[in-house]
A and B are shown apart, each in its own frame.
Chain A
Amino acid sequence: MCDCNSTEKSIYLPELAPITKVAMMNETEMYMHLDHDIGHKPGQFVEVSIAGIGEAPISISSSPTEAGFDMVIRKAGRVTDIMHQMQAGDKLGIRGPFGSGYPIDEMKGKDLVFVCGGIGLVPQRSMINYIMDNRADFGKIAILQGTKEFAQRIYHDELERWAGVDGVQVLETIDVAHDSWNGNVGVVTTLIDKIDGIDLTKAVNLICGPPIMYKFVLMVLQEKEVSHENIFVNLERRMKCGVGKCGHCQMNGQYVCQSGPVYRYSDLANIPEAI
């Protein structure tokens, strides 16, 4: 037995990186920035490791066009609870990036519709900001954001900023009416009819939100006769390794940590465990 470095580096060994910025976004979500370049693509994720606690898969929320990367953490259990107690200067173990990310080449030149529910905006933002930094490569953009309650909204400054960009429309709604809110009230699907000047059947439609949301959004897109090839969904699964070995993320024959978490909806036709 030995703890010496063997020839090959372990695929399970995280690299320590300091957190450079933290901010609470609302009661449950914490924003974090790490000045640590990992060479990611939009839509990929990392495994965050805290030695003695464990690991959790976390989406990369920023575009590779920016230095370092952002994460948004919802308190859900052991690792994310400790992350919420962390401050700038504390270090996190990072493995990755993992997953296949968004189909950027296919999205180029097309109109794009992002349908986001709650923290579903977190991974979508990595793509949205990539588009903002390469604006000429893409067509019109619609960003639809639905949040349950007013107090849970995230990235509102950024939604405002995007709304000011040429050819970008931002539509936001909350499920439950609130005194300080004079925008749309209702679930995110109610925004779809409000999209202006984009033919959904020709656009690439990218959905990310809680599991329950997919069925409703997909039903509406079905009514609008959007082909399943033009729809991408972002799926969540339990993950233990991130590298296609442990079996936890498997849905039928697919390993979400490798071939996902972003999937073309038509590719899921033979994957009944997907949705």
Chain B
Amino acid sequence: MSIKKLNKDVFKSFVDSMIASDQSVVGVKEKVQAKGNKFAFGPLENADQLRLDYDVTLIPPKKYMLPQTETLLTYEVKGESKQHVDEQKLILVGVHPYDMIAINQMDELFSQDEYDTHYMTRRNNITVIACDVVNASENIFASSMETAVVEKGFDILLTDLGKGKEYVAEAITEKGEALLATAVDATDADDKDIAKRSAIQEANKKDLDKHTLNCKPSELSSLLEQAYEHPVWEEKAKTCFSCGSCNTTCPTCYCFDVQDLVNWNLKDGQRERSWDGCLLKDFANVAGDHNFRKQKESRFRHRLYRKGKYVPTKIGGQVACVGCGRCVGACVPDIANPVAVYNRLLEDIKP
């Protein structure tokens, strides 16, 4: 498949023509005051709004595959239900490698065992244009998690060769190839361009390291094997608010709640699923007010075990923390940082 080079103007008209097509185009836009002065994915109206030099978005792009709230079924109250599947086509521009890897993991989780057609239909209707990181965010540790570059899952990968003046764009799927072909003025990338791209990616592998995990990600599982009763859980969780922000901002958290809504006519309604979080107090409540994870330290521990041990067993050993650092910034008492917790364990335990 092709590897092209697009200069600034060609790139802009490429994006503008996508926007003019019948597909919706979503990309990373300017920082928004209302969103804590953070970058955010949103619908693009013109190419100038796109900010491929962003550091990190407030909410990960998972919301386009697994929306905060979505309808699973529509029904007549106490009657028949019909499945509701969103089949909207979408182009998602500017997904960073760590977020792409998180999406790849989620694709595996929603398609394995029981195939989730709600997630998968959305996913299959999305064309992803990933992009290599230009500016490291305040808390990124993708270098440690081996998620600074990505090789699959996207349709096109963009790499900014310098200040947005030139991009290398590689298509790796039919969908991506067809889309990239619409950039008619793009030229074939030459060896020099590809070498420049490799240099950028190699640098990212080392430089996206605002925190450093003191072991290999593949060693986390055996570290956690021995860490269940370690004092760190209580030490850290002491100040936890059980707010669940570390769950909602995380690109790999996918637990959900399901609720029925009834419309004003009291005749019909919909069954909706929405993001849930294992840090929230009632997550494991059952009838009789019995809570299987009553203590905040047990909920705090559960999240870090999911990332480092439980979810990896479902996806061939991949660690379910991609080092985006979002939870670090989102946690007011500053206890959510997985690296801080795992490194603290490493002081006492050999993985």
Chain A residues within CB distance 8 Å of chain B: 1-14, 16, 49-55, 76-77, 82, 91, 93, 211, 236-238, 240-241, 243-248, 250-253, 258, 272-273
Contacts and interface: CB of A to CB of B under 8 A. Distances in A.
Contacts of B110: 245
Contacts of B1: none
A52 B313 contact: no
B276 A10 contact: no
B79 A6 contact: no
> Which 6 interchain pairs have the tightest Cβ spacing?
A247-B255, A51-B75, A52-B77, A8-B117, A10-B83, A243-B114
12 contacts: A3-B84, A13-B82, A16-B80, A51-B260, A54-B271, A91-B79, A238-B292, A244-B113, A245-B256, A250-B310, A253-B309, A273-B292
Interface of B: 72-88, 109-110, 113-118, 120-121, 228, 254-260, 262, 269, 271, 273, 276, 278, 283-288, 290, 292-293, 298, 302, 305, 309-310, 313
A84 to B, nearest CB: 14
Nearest to B282: A238
Contact of B78 (A11, A52, A241, A252): A52
Given A10-B118, A273-B292, A52 B283 contact: no
Contacts of B285: 238
Contact of B117 (A9, A50, A82, A237): A9
Contacts of A12: 72-73, 83, 118, 258, 271, 273
Contact of B292 (A9, A51, A251, A258): A251
A50 B76 CA distance: 10
Contacts of B257: 240, 246, 248
A39 to B, nearest CB: 16
Contact of B258 (A240, A244, A252, A258): A240
Given A6-B85, A50-B78, A273-B293, 12 more contacts: A3-B82, A9-B83, A10-B118, A11-B114, A11-B117, A14-B81, A49-B81, A51-B76, A52-B78, A53-B78, A238-B292, A248-B284
Interface of A is mostly: loop
Contacts of B77: 51-52
A76 B80 contact: no
A181 B293 CA distance: 39
A52 B72 contact: no
Contact of A245 (B76, B116, B302): B116
Contacts of B262: 52
B6 to A, nearest CB: 33
Contacts of A247: 254-256, 276, 278
Nearest to A235: B292
A11 B287 CA distance: 25
B80 A51 contact: yes
B292 A52 contact: no
B260 A53 contact: yes
Nearest to B88: A1
Contacts of B278: 247
B286 A8 contact: no
A251 B72 CA distance: 26
Q: From A76, A246, A248, name the one whose CB has the most chain B CB atoms within 10 angstroms.
A: A248
A76 B286 CA distance: 10
A211 B290 contact: yes
B34 to A, nearest CB: 26
Contacts of B73: 10, 12-13, 51
A51 B79 contact: yes
A140 B283 CA distance: 42
B293 A243 contact: no
Contacts of A11: 114-117
A54 B258 contact: yes
Contacts of A53: 78, 260
A1 B74 CA distance: 13
Contacts of A240: 256-258, 276
A57 B234 CA distance: 33
A77 B287 contact: yes
Contacts of A245: 109-110, 114, 116, 254, 256
B271 A8 contact: no
Q: From A9, A12, A52, name the one whose CB has the most chain B CB atoms within 10 angstroms.
A: A52
Contacts of A243: 113-114, 116
